[in-house]
Chains A and B, each alone.
Chain A
Amino acid sequence: MIETNQIPIVASKVDTACYHCGELAMSPIISEELSFCCNGCKTVHAILKANNLEQYYDIKNAADVAKIPVNPAKENFLHMRDENFIREYAKVTSDGKMILDFYLEGIHCLACLWLIEKIPELVDGVISSRLNLESSRARFVLHPRCDISVLAGELNRLGYLPHAIKQDDEVEAFKKKEERDLLIRMGVAMACMGNIVLLSISIYAGAEGTLKTQFEWLSFFLLMPVILYCAVPFYANALSALKRKTISIDLPISIALIAGTIGGFINLLKGNGIIFFDSMASLVFLLFLGRYLLLKARQKGVNSSNLEYFNSFGSVKRANGEEVLAKFLKPQDVIILTKGDMVPVDGEILAGTALVNNSLLTGESVPINLFTGSLIFSGTQVMSGEVTVRVEKTGRGTRLGGILEEVDLARRMPAPMVTLADKWAQWFVIVVLLLAAAIMGYFAFAGNLTEGFLRALTLVIITCPCALALATPLALTSVIGKLAGQGVIIRSEEVIEKLSKANKIFLDKTGTLTYGKFQVVSFKPLRSFDNLSSIVYTLEKDAIHPIGVALVDYLKDARQLEITDWKEIPGFGVTGIIDGKSYQIKRHNNFLGLFEDGEVILEMELQDSLRKDSKVAIEKMRELKVRPYLLSGDSRSNVLETAKELEISSAHCYFEKKPEEKNKIVTEKAAIMVGDGANDALALSKASVGIAVKGSIDVSLKAADIYLTKPGVALVTLVLTEARKTLKVIHRNLIFSISYNFIGAGLAITGHLNPLWAAILMPLSSLTVLFSTIWGTGRAR
């Protein structure tokens, strides 16, 4: 293979930090004495400067945020002019203004917030813009005649890829109501708990006589809102779990609360014995706190509905030039598909030719040629050429629709995953309940039922997994927030546990480990020529084969020469006559050769090369004891070559695999799957954890558990490390709470439990677990 020193280097190889995003740039673009890592960053800087918005950098530098280079997707947003689009996504107010919600990809700090809320000054027709940093959602109020596509284009130029969100008032209102309800219950519980604890302290400190009785009665009344109002969701959950014949953690909580209140009330009437009102109020409050934190974390990163926004089946062009969202297409519509378009429908080609990548449907990575009269299927991608297509089937009726349905099914099929904490808690609950019953039985047999009841009650209350209830959500919250800040979107928190258990990782090659497109890696003239690049450029300029497209891209500064008799022959190459000499570009040994009158004068090599960070990431995976496998639809030689570069043994390589085969391999090994292509979708949904990388298509995103907003696999190692760290913390917390509970239980059964110690130990155990979590996972962003 070629040596690295043969790769042409465009700019000087100096490590410089990008002025815009701060990322180290290998070959910086210098402009006005400032260096940038990419054109995206340069453009954003120019926009900011032109609008006197350079304060962005002061705010950003003060914020100390993750480095994310701007990488505007090359998309147009003309489909946002379509009336169907406006009807579906925009809400019109009574005074004629439009309200539009976008999910913005790439929001990461308060500088972003500042910039987005400056949009009214940048784009005409925008009245106001408000961004929610937590959910990355922005709401724009627009003049009735404002062109939405311009707004979207501007957002995209600034580096925030906008995804329109359908405003579903009912769902929104329901979610909002649910969150507020939780918050109010938590607030009430906290207020009651605070007062009860204050009163209890005086009792523990030695209040006696009437004062003690009065304080206890007051505590009892303060507890009532907690038991009768706040804790109602626990009873409801416990009952519904029982109806499904399962035991949820809510069951012992409910039993403890109800039994504890009754027991405490009996003791209160008797005027002696333990009342646990303070412990019960704290229990309810801490449980709500844990649930609220988890809810907040979900809104930040776990939100599965966020994944639905990344809809790459964006827009298509109608024959009359209008852009329209694919989902608004109907049978018999006529559309035009060009290079790079994902085919959104099944249809028949009316005119033109195109090279189409069928890998989703067939697993075949070599593109095929389609002509007038051929059928073209949804989920395939036009590599080059242009075709006019009559729509025949849309949505679920297409072949892709069938696959999507299968993916949906696979997502719903697996038995609900029981998290570790739940599993432990379930056993714990059963043991505690049995033990309580045994104590009751023992004392009843001995003729002292009251004593038995009290001890059993003490046991149930003291063993309530209070600390546990808070610790696990907190650990998950903290890791999810941290990962969200780095551009990792997680569908559900269960994934964290599965991730840390996996010891195999299947990596798709094309587009995941590699850049996914041909790049010129060597350009070696066999004789000296001055206009060699221009000849190649002229020959390949109109070619539709990806190799030609890559060459034109590489030689974009070359001159166009006069050419006659130009022909592109599929499976062979291109030919033409320039300046009286006949030229051909075709395969020559292992190279691509330029032939002048039948003689080779230039050897070129094109390759889909590995991403810069792939190798390091693979090494890190090995350090984490996760064995990397290659799983690709590509040919044997291509896969083995990549494997060699990554030092993956050929025994761990799967090549020429069709989607169904990929799916089978991944299911058998129960492992992590990382991929981007449509042909990975099934495997992603079947894998223990499916990770879709940036650039993935719609189907893959639907199937995946985790979405990485940066291309390449570098983030995978971060996700793995964090998941392991988190699980370690959760384990430590579980062990701590369980042993704490066992000691408490021992004291309770033997009747040694001093109420003062119980009151001190209870919050202390929660606090210990809390600190252990914070210390173990590191501060969330």
Chain B
Amino acid sequence: MNVIYILLPLSLLLGITFLVIFIWSVKKGQYDDLSTPAHRMLFDEEYENKKRKNL
């Protein structure tokens, strides 16, 4: 059972890392608009192609 003294801090560390990443992404504004980007990525590719053609 002694392994728990390694695993527990490790899992906590992992959790804290993800929490920090989450806070960072919120502060960066990644969660400001939840629905539009999800739709936008569906037709981004076609849009880019057209732009390139226009150049």
Which of A26-34, A179-187, A378-386, A519-527 is found at the contact surface with chain B? Answer: A179-187
Contacts of A121 in B (CB 8 A): 50
* CA of A161 to CA of B47, assembled, Å: 24
Using known A-B contacts A134-B33, A184-B26, determine if residue A191 contacts B15 with beta carbons closer than 8 Å.
yes
- Determine if A211 is an interface residue (Cβ-Cβ < 8 Å): yes
Select one of B26, B31, B35 contacting A133, CB under 8 A.
Answer: B35
Asked if residues B31 and A131 are in contact (CB atoms below 8 Å), the reply is no
Quick one: which of B12, B29, B35 has the most chain A CB within 10 A? B35
* CA of A133 to CA of B32, assembled, Å: 12
**Chain B interface, number of residues (Cβ within 8 angstroms):** 27
Asked if residues A183 and B26 are in contact (CB atoms below 8 Å), the reply is yes
- Determine if A113 is an interface residue (Cβ-Cβ < 8 Å): yes
Contacts of A211 in B (CB 8 A): 1, 4
- Determine if A66 is an interface residue (Cβ-Cβ < 8 Å): no
Select one of B23, B34, B42, B50 contacting A184, CB under 8 A.
Answer: B23
Asked if residues B19 and A179 are in contact (CB atoms below 8 Å), the reply is no
* A/B pair count, beta carbons within 8 Å: 58
- Determine if A218 is an interface residue (Cβ-Cβ < 8 Å): yes
Asked if residues B34 and A117 are in contact (CB atoms below 8 Å), the reply is no
Contacts of A118 in B (CB 8 A): 47
- Determine if B36 is an interface residue (Cβ-Cβ < 8 Å): yes
Using known A-B contacts A211-B1, A218-B8, determine if residue A134 contacts B26 with beta carbons closer than 8 Å.
no
Closest 6 CB pairs of A and B: A110-B39, A133-B36, A191-B19, A187-B22, A183-B26, A133-B35
**Chain A interface main SS type:** helix
Contacts of B31 in A (CB 8 A): 180, 183
- Determine if A176 is an interface residue (Cβ-Cβ < 8 Å): yes
- Determine if A296 is an interface residue (Cβ-Cβ < 8 Å): yes
Asked if residues B34 and A134 are in contact (CB atoms below 8 Å), the reply is yes
* CA of A194 to CA of B29, assembled, Å: 24
List 26 contacting pairs A-B, 8 Å CB cutoff, sorted by A. Answer: A110-B39, A110-B42, A113-B39, A113-B40, A114-B43, A117-B40, A121-B50, A132-B33, A133-B36, A133-B39, A134-B33, A134-B34, A134-B35, A179-B32, A180-B31, A187-B23, A187-B26, A188-B19, A188-B23, A191-B15, A191-B16, A191-B18, A191-B22, A195-B11, A195-B12, A296-B34
- Determine if A756 is an interface residue (Cβ-Cβ < 8 Å): no
Contacts of B35 in A (CB 8 A): 133-134
- Determine if B27 is an interface residue (Cβ-Cβ < 8 Å): yes
Asked if residues B33 and A195 are in contact (CB atoms below 8 Å), the reply is no
**Chain A interface, number of residues (Cβ within 8 angstroms):** 25
Which residue of A is nearest B36, CB measured? A133
* CA of A134 to CA of B35, assembled, Å: 7
Contacts of B39 in A (CB 8 A): 110, 113, 133
Instruction: With both chains docked as a complex, state the minimum distance between the C-beta of B38 and any C-beta of chain A, in angstroms.
Output: 9
Q: Which residues does B use to contact A, with CB under 8 Å?
A: 1, 4, 8, 11-12, 15-16, 18-19, 22-23, 26-27, 29, 31-36, 39-40, 42-43, 46-47, 50
- Determine if A532 is an interface residue (Cβ-Cβ < 8 Å): no
Contacts of A218 in B (CB 8 A): 8
Within 8 A of B (CB), among A336-395: none
Within 8 A of B (CB), among A71-87: none
* CA of A767 to CA of B50, assembled, Å: 48
Which residue of B is nearest A62, CB measured? B42
Using known A-B contacts A188-B19, A191-B18, determine if residue A176 contacts B32 with beta carbons closer than 8 Å.
yes
Asked if residues B46 and A55 are in contact (CB atoms below 8 Å), the reply is yes
Instruction: With both chains docked as a complex, state the minimum distance between the C-beta of B1 and any C-beta of chain A, in angstroms.
Output: 7
Contacts of B29 in A (CB 8 A): 176, 180
Instruction: With both chains docked as a complex, state the minimum distance between the C-beta of A103 and any C-beta of chain B, in angstroms.
Output: 15
- Determine if A201 is an interface residue (Cβ-Cβ < 8 Å): no
Contacts of A114 in B (CB 8 A): 43
* CA of A194 to CA of B14, assembled, Å: 13
- Determine if A59 is an interface residue (Cβ-Cβ < 8 Å): yes
Instruction: With both chains docked as a complex, state the minimum distance between the C-beta of B40 and any C-beta of chain A, in angstroms.
Output: 7
Select one of A59, A131, A195 contacting B36, CB under 8 A.
Answer: A131
* CA of A131 to CA of B40, assembled, Å: 10
Instruction: Using A184-B23, A191-B18 as known contacts, list a sample of 15 further A-B pairs with CB atoms less than 8 Å apart, ordered by residue number in A.
Output: A113-B40, A114-B43, A117-B40, A131-B36, A133-B36, A134-B36, A180-B27, A183-B31, A184-B26, A187-B26, A188-B19, A188-B23, A191-B19, A194-B15, A296-B34
Contacts of B47 in A (CB 8 A): 117-118
Instruction: With both chains docked as a complex, state the minimum distance between the C-beta of A182 and any C-beta of chain B, in angstroms.
Output: 10
Instruction: With both chains docked as a complex, state the minimum distance between the C-beta of B50 and any C-beta of chain A, in angstroms.
Output: 8
**Interface flags, A159-199, vs B, CB<8A=1, else 0:** 00000000000000000100110011001100100110000
* CA of A110 to CA of B8, assembled, Å: 45
Which residue of B is nearest A114, CB measured? B43
**Interface flags, A191-231, vs B, CB<8A=1, else 0:** 10011000000000000000100000010000000000000
Instruction: With both chains docked as a complex, state the minimum distance between the C-beta of A411 and any C-beta of chain B, in angstroms.
Output: 30
Using known A-B contacts A113-B36, A134-B35, determine if residue A59 contacts B27 with beta carbons closer than 8 Å.
no
Contacts of B22 in A (CB 8 A): 184, 187, 191
* CA of A514 to CA of B37, assembled, Å: 41
Using known A-B contacts A59-B43, A132-B33, determine if residue A195 contacts B19 with beta carbons closer than 8 Å.
no
Which residue of B is nearest A225, CB measured? B19
Asked if residues B46 and A195 are in contact (CB atoms below 8 Å), the reply is no
Contacts of A131 in B (CB 8 A): 36
**Interface flags, A118-138, vs B, CB<8A=1, else 0:** 100100000000011110000
Contacts of A296 in B (CB 8 A): 34
Instruction: With both chains docked as a complex, state the minimum distance between the C-beta of B27 and any C-beta of chain A, in angstroms.
Output: 6
Instruction: With both chains docked as a complex, state the minimum distance between the C-beta of A191 and any C-beta of chain B, in angstroms.
Output: 5
Instruction: With both chains docked as a complex, state the minimum distance between the C-beta of A211 and any C-beta of chain B, in angstroms.
Output: 7
Contacts of A59 in B (CB 8 A): 42-43
Asked if residues A187 and B43 are in contact (CB atoms below 8 Å), the reply is no
Which residue of A is nearest B46, CB measured? A55
Contacts of A187 in B (CB 8 A): 19, 22-23, 26
Contacts of A133 in B (CB 8 A): 33, 35-36, 39
* CA of A296 to CA of B35, assembled, Å: 11
Which residue of A is nearest B28, CB measured? A180
Which residue of A is nearest B22, CB measured? A187
Instruction: With both chains docked as a complex, state the minimum distance between the C-beta of A292 and any C-beta of chain B, in angstroms.
Output: 10
Which residue of A is nearest B27, CB measured? A180
Contacts of B8 in A (CB 8 A): 218
Instruction: With both chains docked as a complex, state the minimum distance between the C-beta of A317 and any C-beta of chain B, in angstroms.
Output: 37
Asked if residues A180 and B42 are in contact (CB atoms below 8 Å), the reply is no
Asked if residues B23 and A195 are in contact (CB atoms below 8 Å), the reply is no
* CA of A134 to CA of B15, assembled, Å: 31
